[in-house]
Structures are given as structure tokens and as C-alpha cells.
Amino acid sequence: MTRGPILIDLEDREPPVSVADAPPVPDAPAPDGQAMQMAARLAARRPSRLASWFWGLAGAVVGAMVSVAAWDFVTGLLARAPVFGMIVTVLFVAMLGVLLVIALRELAAIARLGRIDSLHRAADTALAEEDLEQARAVTKRLLAFYAGRDDTRWGR
């Protein structure tokens, strides 16, 4: 390498290319929804038994670790500062109570969805078999399901 100045000759260069002379960018083909179809197929299939065991055991291990860590935290706090430890213990109990209420509400919602699903299946069966008695039974079940809702009184 040289340590002196470098001479770059600008007159022997090619003229710059104009952007207007560039070819247009080709249009990309429209998406056909293949990714969404694959995602729907993956979501619809049943998980393998091995994966279910893995996630169940992983949840149990993580839950055990968190509960042991919380227990050690509270007992250590009770030993060091009894008043503050009791306050934290009450907070933990309150949090567990709220979590229990949330879990019960979710279980009730899942039960309601199960009842709606059974109503839907019974209505499909009555429609497919063209059975008036089954249709009337589904109607009675549907009216009983929505009996406690004031906003559906006019339709009932």
C-alpha cells in the first residue's frame, strides 16, 4: 500500500444510471391464505399424548417451585419480622382467594359453553331428522337457558 495521496480519475467513469431507466418492480402474487389454512389445521388437530404429559408435568414442577419459594419467603419473613410477615401472609391469602374466584368463574363459563354446545348439537339433530318433538324440546331448553336474562324477555 502506498502512504501518499491516491488519484481517482473521474473523466473515465461511465455516466450514472438514471432511476427512470430502471425496470419496474414486478408485482408479487396475491396471498392465497395458505399460512392461515396451515395455522387452522395445526390448531384443530388434537395434541399428542406425549405433549400433554410434558405440559402437565412442566406445569406441576413450576407450580411446586413457585409454591415452595413463596412458602420459604413467608416463613422467613415471619421469623424476621412477625408483624410484616403476618401482613404479607394476609396478602397472599387474599390473592389466593381472588385466584380461586377467578378459577370458579372460568369453570362456570366453560360449563355454560358446554350447555350451549349441547343445545346446538340437539338443534342440528332435530333439524336434520326434521323431528318436531325434538325441536320443541330444544326450544324449551333454550328458553330455560335464557330465562334469567331480562334483555331476552321480549324475544321469549
Distance CA 65, CA 54 (A): 16
The answer on pLDDT for 13 being more than 80 is no
If 0-12 CB within 10 Å is exposed, 13-18 middle and 19+ buried, where does residue 95 land?
exposed
**Tell me, what's the pLDDT at 53?**
93
**H-assigned helices in the chain:** 34-44, 49-80, 82-129, 132-145
Contacts of 116 (CB under 8 A, 6+ apart): 145
The pLDDT-based confidence of 152 (bands split at 50, 70, 90) is: confident
Note the pTM of the prediction, 2 decimals: 0.51
Residue extents of the structural domains in the chain: 54-152
Cell matching residue 116: 350451549
Residue-wise pLDDT for 80-133, tens only, equals 998 988 898 899 899 999 999 999 999 999 999 999 999 999 999 999 998 899
Angle CA(60)–CA(46)–CA(58) in degrees, nearest 5? 15
